[in-house]
Amino acid sequence: MTPLRIAVIGSGYWGRKVIREILEIGRSTGQIELHSVVDSSPASLAQCQQEFGSGIDYRLDYQDLVQDPSLSGVHIASPNGTHFDIASRFLRAGKNILVEKPLTLKTVESYELVRLAAENKCVLSVGHIHRFNNGVRELRRVIAEGEIGEPYYVDFRWTGFMNPQLQREVITDLAPHPFDICNYALDAWPEKISCKGRGYRTKQNEEVAFITGEHKGGLMAHIEVSWLDRDKRREVAIVGSNGMAFLDCMSQKLFVEDSSGRREIPVLPSNTIASEIIHFADCIRNSRDSTTYSNHSDGMLGARVVSLLEASRESMFQDRTIPVQLPIMPEIPVRQ
């Protein structure tokens, strides 16, 4: 099998994790290869060179990649505000892309990426990494099989200390995962959103937010996101009519508690980044073969989550509950 050649754009904190995994998957399976690493900062590339050696194609600019026929896909791990511009250029050139979360900053931009991907017959994936978290997958099964009865409410704590941020705010940065996990675990999207958020050290950028999503049938989802809390938590608790489930999304440890006591549900923890990259490669191969294949983390999912982020911030600014309007799938041309 010829290896797929993947470029990584943005080699900061997250991009370097992606590069590490691509190199490791390449070594162990031979299915993919690192095509190149692009970062507009020479310092960031120098750091990569120190970690990954000089035998990699490092570039300061991605323009030449856009038309490169040897490129099979691009993993975009640059700052959130650059996603739309970079992603749309590659999609217009017919390239397959995986964009880190959030897909874009605005719903209309995400929707445009979904349209471009359909028009140019490209794979568009979004980095909703917890779709590949075995703990989250098991949580979904526990709920679907009625182990905690009818779900009443969900509580997310997504916290961890960060120094004051001037270019980012906490809702756009942290809330994509809780929104995505909530949808994956419950197969539902909220109908209304209310949100309170505040920046304490940086008044212009929120550092903590409390978001409440109201779902059809009365289910409520509460999301706490914070860069001020000293405890790093990636936790979800789902309370139902017969018991509750608790998942630590980092350790992938899952517990169910009901009238018979508390028990751990066995989960074999997954390497989420590696699974996400392998799934992206599978999507590229299958789409090239015109095989019907389901992308577990597609652009439409990314667009829907972006619309919830926008609704959250709108609620916070307008101090009112916002009805959610989810983007709907555009007409996808039939593959010839």
Ligand X SMILES: NC(=O)c1ccc[n+]([C@@H]2O[C@H](COP(=O)([O-])OP(=O)(O)OC[C@H]3O[C@@H](n4cnc5c(N)ncnc54)[C@H](O)[C@@H]3O)[C@@H](O)[C@H]2O)c1
Minimal distance in Å, beta carbon 186 to ligand X? 21
225 and 170 Cβ atoms separated by less than 8 Å? yes
176-186 and 134-144 helices, crossing angle to 10°: 40
301 and 326 Cβ atoms separated by less than 8 Å? no
CB atoms within 10 A of CB 25: 23
**Within 13 Å of residue 131, how many CA atoms lie on the same side as its CB?**
25
Minimal distance in Å, beta carbon 255 to ligand X? 23
Judged by CB, which is closer to ligand X: 58, or 152? 58
Minimal distance in Å, beta carbon 85 to ligand X? 8
Minimal distance in Å, beta carbon 18 to ligand X? 8
Judged by CB, which is closer to ligand X: 9, or 193? 9
Number of residue whose CB is nearest ligand X: 12
CB atoms within 10 A of CB 222: 15
Cα 88 versus chain centre, distance: 18
Hunting for tokens 């958020």 — which residue is that? 197
Q: Nearest 5°: phi and psi at 153?
A: -150, 160
Minimal distance in Å, beta carbon 22 to ligand X? 15
Binding footprint of ligand X on the chain (CB under 6 A): 9-15, 38-41, 44, 77-80, 82, 100-101, 127, 129, 173
Residue 24 CA to residue 274 CA, distance in Å, equals 9
Minimal distance in Å, beta carbon 68 to ligand X? 16
Judged by CB, which is closer to ligand X: 62, or 246? 62
Q: In 155-184, which positions are buried (b, 16+ CB within 10 angstroms) versus exposed (e)?
A: bbbbbeeeeebeebbbbbbbbbbbbbbbbb
CB atoms within 10 A of CB 152: 14
Judged by CB, which is closer to ligand X: 77, or 219? 77
Give bridge partners of residue 253 from the DSSP assignment: 248
Residue 128 CA to residue 133 CA, distance in Å, equals 10
Radius of gyration for the alpha carbons in the chain, expressed in angstroms and rounded: 20
Judged by CB, which is closer to ligand X: 11, or 295? 11
114 and 149 Cβ atoms separated by less than 8 Å? no
Minimal distance in Å, beta carbon 63 to ligand X? 10
Judged by CB, which is closer to ligand X: 81, or 333? 81
Residue 235 CA to residue 246 CA, distance in Å, equals 7
Judged by CB, which is closer to ligand X: 63, or 294? 63
Judged by CB, which is closer to ligand X: 82, or 287? 82
Hey, is 244 helix, strand or coil?
strand
Minimal distance in Å, beta carbon 274 to ligand X? 13
